[in-house]
Amino acid sequence: MTNVVGKSPIKVDGREKVRGRVQFPADLYKNGALYGGLKRIPVPCADILSIDTSEAEKVPGVKAVLTAADIPGLNAQGVLFTDMPVISSKKVRSVNDIVALVAAENEDSLQEALGKIKIEYRETTGVFDPIEAMNPDSPLVHSDRESNILYHVKIAKGDVESAFEKSAVIIEDTYKTPTVEHAFLQPEAALAYLDERGHVVIHTATQYPHWDRAEIARSLNLPLHKVRVVTTAVGGAFGGREDMTLQVRLCLLALKTGRPVKMVLDREESFHIHCKRHAMTMRYKTGADKSGRLTAVEAEIIGDTGAYASWAPNVLRKAAVHATGPYRVPNVKVESYAVYTNNPFAGAMRGFGAAQPPVAYEAQMDRIAEELGMDPLEIRAINCFQEGDVTATGQMLHASVGLTECLDKASERAQEIFKEKEKDISPFKKRGQGIACTFYGLGYGNGFPDTSSAVVEVHEDGTATVLTGATDVGQGSNTVFAQIAAEELGLKVDDVTVISADTDVTPDAGTTAATRQTYNSGNAVRIAARKAKKILFKQAIKELNVNTDMGLEAKDGYVYVKTFPQKRISHSELAAKAYLAGLRPVGEGNFIAHSTQLDENGQGAPYWPYAFGVQVVEVVVNTLTGQVEVENVVAAHDVGKAINKTAVEGQIAGGIAQGLGFALTEEVELKSGKIKNPFFSRYLIPTMADMPDIEPIIVEEPEPSGPYGAKGVGEPAMLPTAPAVLNAIYDAIGVRIKELPATPEKILRALAKKDSAK
């Protein structure tokens, strides 16, 4: 029985956020700070002929106009490959590119100087369609490469050809998802300066301060210990704060001017500076026998990474590994490609390549069921992963497979909600229901050293501090860590302070990404807390006069003998005595998630653990306006163990909101590499008024390697929503939308096509 874990204490920063006291980077001020700005050219594809900064430098109040030549270290950035210039000097490959930086005493001087930088350039032919870009005759986005194909991975298991021959039903089709924006509320902002030691310091909202430090140090040619990245409160991230945006550039301005420099982007600039979700084209062929058992899946997935790699290989690998869905498929052939184009660059976004394939494979499942006259629930029930099953990559799912329980609970609850409702509301308003099952492998995967570190210190009054590099991006990891440390030490959440994501203070805990912080860093915090407790127990042995710490437990502010609870000592007394005795209850914890690299046939154990989810969605479609109203979502998610139930429910609601946007309204409209809708009046995310009734169901199939059995929920929460909505639209009006978003226009066009086919 746990005491703090599994409860729902309010978030450790909740009160301050509600009161507006939390500081985001734009809230930070420093005396004498300069205004920083970025210079772009108005085309996505060009050769730069010359850059003349002389007029800009003459503007009164201007302190620096920097170009590529001013970078002391490497003029390149990138999480996997350093293919994105910090400042472009010869070539512009996308609307993301920056050609100069300015720092000035005030906003007016800054704007004037930005306008006076003279750039001569010659527009070049770009390539904006990834399939076209794969053609050897296409212009190369990076001239030092032989092809625009950045990455290709194959998964091959069994023999798909002969399996298709023996299949009773085969469904073949192509599905597309668009470029999508993270749409976090807080646009990029940062404050950089040199501290009294001459170290470069930047306060910013990031997902991984230690990585930012590495990139800043590399480009500024500084040792790591002379760079400090402090993470402020983060106003949403969703993968959009993993690449360098302002970090290196602003630190360079601070270094060159010797003055603090602050930059706050507006929404339009924000759209242009961070990555996007990969648009994907997914060609699928799925076979099943007459009983509905899947026989084979063949898929080709092409992802548009835009001008820069960012995480593309890992994203397209994740897409490939998840391409079959959470189902037993004996014969699999998947080819997945990441392709460079001159579009805005794509990178990490919630789901990380596992969000697009469900749009294809869950439609395929419904279509097979329909062909065979089966119920969508039934076909999923007979194919879904159980403990002991083997995935497309040959990985054995040896534990924590809660998919059937999710399926049962979600469909049962959905039945209760929907049973009394009529399908035909009016001649032009139809109700429908859709289901989708998804899975998600946590962590960086593929054998990458996926490590988290934490330190826990118990103070002489018995309270404790946790230090960890893990960023709380709003999802609540600091609260989860406080709960875990409190649980292990026998304290209340209020007795624990979590200090996170400051490179001068906290140990590296990896990225807040891949749904890995509760699992990875949660484990590290737990290990650290146990070590600190072990030291406290040394003193407790003496104080309680026992011969070993084996029978001791820490709970409710006391350490006591389990078999004789009257024998106890309070934390405050015990800690004080331990300190007097020269002991220091400090523990360090490291945790490495285990995974193996895929072999040449895409076989291996690329991720661990896997989280599962099932959502049932109810929609009403208006066949005249094409509008889809989502009325209800029942969402069952196997999270292993909910450390904080309310936080899990919050993640589920947020995931559904993002999934609904993905399904119905969100698309970064691109025209020859330019973003046509870089503002929230035309890039439409759902509002509160658009949100359906949500019923979260938390399924807890414990993961033996997770803290208290926990896996995670951040990304898994959004995966089933879009495919379930598409299946519900089909159920309502009999048309299948295969290209997101399912806009009213697309729905009306599909309806018209269906009518004319009659």
Site for other proteins, rule CB under 8 A: 426, 428, 622-627, 665, 680-681, 684, 686-690, 743-745, 748
697: Cβ contacts below 8 Å, ≥ 6 apart: 406, 409, 410, 413, 634, 635, 636, 637
- Sign for the CA dihedral angle at 567, 573, 574, 580 comes to negative
> How far apart, in whole angstroms, are the C-alpha atoms of residue 490 and residue 422?
53
The structure tokens listed for 340 are: 């460079």
Rounded to 5°, the CA angle 684-689-695 comes to: 110
Nearer to other proteins, 523 or 623 (CB): 623
- Yes or no: say if 346 and 304 are a contact pair by the CB < 8 Å rule: yes
The structure tokens listed for 61 are: 């109040």
Reported in sequence order, the residue ranges of 469-585 that DSSP labels E, i.e. its strands, are 496-500, 552-555, 558-561, 564-570
Least CB distance from residue 487 to other proteins, whole Å? 40
409: nearest Cα among 610, 612, 614, 611:
614
Least CB distance from residue 629 to other proteins, whole Å? 8
Beta partners for residue 91, in sequence order: 47
On the CB side of 32, CA atoms within 13 Å amount to: 8
Nearer to other proteins, 690 or 739 (CB): 690
> How far apart, in whole angstroms, are the C-alpha atoms of residue 367 and residue 158?
23
Q: Residue 582 burial by CB count (10 A; 0-12/13-18/19+): exposed, middle or buried?
A: exposed
Listing DSSP states for 652-690 in one string gives HHHHHHHHHHHHHT----EETTEES--STTTS----GGG
Nearer to other proteins, 107 or 195 (CB): 107
Nearer to other proteins, 445 or 741 (CB): 741
Least CB distance from residue 722 to other proteins, whole Å? 16
Nearer to other proteins, 109 or 393 (CB): 109
Q: Residue 584 burial by CB count (10 A; 0-12/13-18/19+): exposed, middle or buried?
A: exposed
Nearer to other proteins, 377 or 668 (CB): 668
> How far apart, in whole angstroms, are the C-alpha atoms of residue 213 and residue 191?
14
Nearer to other proteins, 592 or 752 (CB): 752
Nearer to other proteins, 214 or 425 (CB): 425
Nearer to other proteins, 547 or 687 (CB): 687
Exposure b/e, 368-393, CB count within 10 A at least 16 = b:
bbeebebebbebbbebbbeeebebbb
Least CB distance from residue 232 to other proteins, whole Å? 25
Least CB distance from residue 60 to other proteins, whole Å? 16
Phi, psi angles (nearest 5°) of residue 726: -65, -40
CB atoms within 10 A of CB 712: 29
Least CB distance from residue 663 to other proteins, whole Å? 12
226, 231, 255, 258, 360 from 196: Cα distances, Å: 11, 20, 13, 11, 56
Least CB distance from residue 341 to other proteins, whole Å? 26
Nearer to other proteins, 425 or 541 (CB): 425
Least CB distance from residue 421 to other proteins, whole Å? 19
Least CB distance from residue 427 to other proteins, whole Å? 9
Q: How far is CA 478 from the centre of its chain?
A: 17
478: nearest Cα among 310, 287, 290, 231:
231
Nearer to other proteins, 165 or 266 (CB): 266
